[in-house]
Amino acid sequence: MERKLGKGAVALMAALAITMPVGLIPGAAQAVVFSTITVEGNQQIETGAVLSTLDLPVGQDVSPGQINDALQRLQGSGLFETVELVPQGGQLVVRVSEYPIVNQISFEGNRRLNNDRLTEIIRSQPRRVYQPSQAIQDAQAIAQIYAAEGRLAARVDPRIIRRSGNRIDLVFEIREGNLTEIERISFVGNRAFSDRRLRNVLETKQAGLLRTFIRRDTFAPERIPLDEQLLTDFYRSQGYADFRVQGTAPEIARERDAFFVTFSIEEGPRYRFGRVDTVSEIPGVDAALFAAQNRVQRGGVYNPSIIDTTIRRMETVAIQQGLDFISIEPRVTRNPQNQSLDLTFALTRGQRIFVERIDIEGNTTTLDEVIRRQFNTVEGDPFNPREIRNSAERVRALGYFTDAQVETRQGSGPDQVIVGVNVEEQPTGSLSLGAAYGVNSGVGFNIGLTERNFLGRGQTLGVQLSTASGDRTAGINFIEPYFLGRDLRFGFSANYSETESLNSDYDTRAIRVQPSIEFPISENARIELRYRVGEDDLSSVPDTSSQLLIDDVGSRITSAIGYTYNWDSRRTGLDPLTAYRFRFSQDFAGAGGDTKTITTTALAGVESTAWRESVTLRAELEAGAIYSYGDYETWILDRFRTGNRIRGFEPNGFGPRDLEAENEDGLGGNYYWSARAEAQFPIGLPEEYGISGGLFADVGSLWGLDRTSGTDGVEIDDSMYVRGAVGASIFWTTPIGPLRFNFSQAVRKEDYDLEQNFDLTIQTNF
């Protein structure tokens, strides 16, 4: 078996020869006449095809220029390794040596990319004429794909293996090489922030402990502009209005297996807001109405997002007042002497431009109406550039498209614009296989099938199955986000669950069906209305349990209507550093069924960043109450149980319980409250390791029973005893999923409470 280097073939191609110099033809300076033209050496290529390419006349004068052109045509056809023109009297003999036919194409040394993927890249094909130049181009294309995967050291060499019958096998020998990782990211010119803090801002990461799994530590030139923009946004959000990136210098190691990236920056001074005014340059428009929407405070650190938020609020007022073509122009005056910025919001009359139409392209699956309803603007409305930008963000946020570009162009008249939406769709269905671990629940597995754009209508359809130690659930849910063509979110869910001795000596089973509808009542608030019907069953209660549990054995049907009020500041992003949320919910059971209760819960939470956004602070206050009416008494499956409301205690680890019962199973309670506070912060490790720390403190109580004694007459103390716990957490973002290690200590408890000093949770999809 003979192997011939691909580069040898290229050299051979470059050395294509013709052995008939014009000077050797008799009378070369004059025209010649050939009575016949014959072709020799061709096997696969028909003689007629060669003569057609040669295109020389027979029996007529042929000039030297025509002969040279004919030679060039044969050489340029890419069909022959060599071409020779031999005059023999009045006869011209064309001797050719054909390129071989490619018998088969194979790849050697590829592990990261399979053969099917590589076959799609190359243009050489079996049963076609072998072309060395094309083989070289194919090798370069394969190397470029490896470079895009972060393997800049990859080498690809085309080889040929000669076979009988003028055939060859084409083999691409691949040396994939190692990932070209970013070994170090450094900064020049930074004084206010450390290199470590600035590295946290970047999308690109330098190689660390998890370099085998992290892909953002491979060098990608297309990420450099994004990183520069992220640096600019970060510095300007910290008050550095004059910040700029002077240059970025990536350097590759000699072995081409590592990059060193250096950002050269100029911070400039840190500014604070000085005088803040609002003026109107439009007759009849009162600036005071708009000034009330100002969120920029004198003396505050300069932050362009606060200016943007204020402009957005002012534009909303203009729309509410029916004032079209109003432009809010921020005018900034720098005061270098005291490093302050005076800011004036000027209300000016914008150009009268209308939206002629909205064109949507690129959506092969998603219906036009799904995209169009993300626009608050319709044909004929005044053109508002900010609203168009916000609409574009909403289209991208759908998650249905890999790219969504919204641009404007001139319409049919000078006062008309056309809004063009060009999207590129991506798969929206997912099959997830998951694993989870908890100290109490043990190892569990789940499988889920979800389609987020069902039939291209923007609907969500999902099916989930999960199992853990003593706990099995199954469910199906459907969501229509735009029911009846309006901003009404219709949902339907059906669930089945059962537990076997889950931190207790009894078993439960539950079946629930719930339709719901949700709608907005303000920019930040939404209300959900729902109806729930289901059956709960309690069984396998041993004789050693509390008489209250023994009396509860059996099943009950619940039919309830309810509502939830949700307020979330993140919907409008008024404060980019702090988010607030509030939830109030009530369910009224008794419209049929066996249960007669009113269940009320409320939650208020806040999350904020501090210390230059390096520390995240969270706090939540939660409470709930169940009221039974008529002659109905709550049972164990109605009442609240501890769950994860207070860390440091096991599920069902505190609250009312029958201390005379042998197993002392938790009985739940009609009332609960809890307060949780947490801080998450870096612990000095590089950000690319994905490890941070946290401290938390929880306090709360679970209490209250409708009946405090069973038929055996034993009294149960259901008083409100306060519990509390403190602890520390380690957060670790790993390739198998986010891990959280909780180390806790109960600081206030009762003797019979069940503590949990350590907890590990894992959730991953693969």
Residue for token pair 């997912």: 430
Q: How far apart, in whole angstroms, are the C-alpha atoms of residue 708 and residue 669?
A: 11
Average pLDDT over residues 135-149: 88
Out of 455-469, 586-600, 696-710, 750-764, least confident range: 750-764
Write out pLDDT tens, residues 302-356: 989 889 888 888 988 888 888 888 889 999 999 988 999 999 999 998 888 999 9
**How much is the pLDDT for 28?**
44
Mean pLDDT on 273-288 = 92
Query: Above 50 in pLDDT, residue 766?
Result: no
Residue in 307, 432, 302, 408 with CA at minimum distance from that of residue 358: 408
pTM: 0.67
Specify which of 34-43, 587-596, 650-659 reaches the highest per-range mean pLDDT: 587-596
pLDDT tens-place string over residues 317-332: 888 888 888 889 999 9
Task: Say how far residue 23 (Cα) sits from the centre of its chain.
Answer: 70
- Of residues 546 and 515, more confidence is placed in 515
CB-based burial, 252-267: b 16+ in 10 Å, e otherwise: eeeebbbbbbebebeb
Confidence label for 725 from pLDDT (cuts 50, 70 and 90): very high
- Helices 6-14 and 132-148: crossing angle in degrees, nearest 10, is 130
Mean per-residue pLDDT, 457-461: 93
CB 272 within 8 A of CB 193: no
Q: How many residues does this entry show for the chain?
A: 766
CA dist 314 and 347 (Å) reads: 9
What pLDDT score does 313 carry?
85
Rounded Cα distance, 246 and 267, in Å: 10
With tokens 């998650």, the residue in question is: 399
The mean per-residue pLDDT over the stretch 694-702 comes to 96
With CA atoms as reference, report the closest residue to 549 among 635, 471, 639: 635
Q: Is the confidence at residue 226, as pLDDT, over 80?
A: yes
Question: In 3-state terms, what secondary structure has residue 393?
Answer: helix
Q: Would you say residue 424 has pLDDT above 80?
A: yes
Spatial distance between the Cα atoms of 499 and 482, rounded to a whole number of angstroms? 36
pLDDT one-digit tens code per residue, 229-266: 999 999 998 899 999 999 998 888 777 778 889 999 99
Residue 213 has pLDDT above 80, yes or no: no
Per-residue pLDDT at 15: 33
7-21, 263-277, 733-747: range with highest mean pLDDT: 263-277
For 605-628, the pLDDT digits (tens) are 999 987 766 789 999 999 999 999
- 């920029």: which residue's tokens? 296
Does residue 501 register a pLDDT over 90?
no
**Starting from the edge strand earliest in sequence, which strands make up the sheet with 155-163, in order?**
3-5, 155-163, 167-175, 101-108
Q: Is 701 exposed, middle or buried (0-12, 13-18, 19+ CB in 10 A)?
A: buried
Mean pLDDT of 681-701: 86
User: What average pLDDT does the structure give for the chain?
Assistant: 84
35-48 pLDDT, tens digit per residue, is 888 888 877 778 88
- Bigger pLDDT: 707 or 28? 707
User: How far apart (Å, rounded) are the C-alpha atoms in residues 582 and 138?
Assistant: 59
Has residue 450 got a pLDDT over 70?
Answer: yes
Res. 10: pLDDT tops 60: no
pLDDT digits (tens, 9 = 90+) for 257-272: 788 899 999 999 999 9
Helix (H) or strand (E) holding 92: strand 91-98
Query: 707 pLDDT band (50/70/90 cuts)?
Result: confident
Quick one: 199 exposed, middle or buried, by C-beta within 10 A (0-12, 13-18, 19+)?
Answer: buried
Mean pLDDT across the stretch 593-616? 89
Chain-centroid distance of CA 705 in Å reads 46
Q: What is the mean pLDDT of residues 696-701?
A: 96
| Whole-number Å distance between alpha carbons of 199 and 186 | 8
Q: What value does the mean pLDDT take over residues 391-403?
A: 87
- pLDDT of amino acid 503: 60
**pLDDT at position 101, please?**
86
Domains and CATH numbers, the chain: 3-98 (3.10.20.310), 106-175 (3.10.20.310), 181-266 (3.10.20.310), 272-349 (3.10.20.310), 354-425 (3.10.20.310), 500-765 (2.40.160.50)
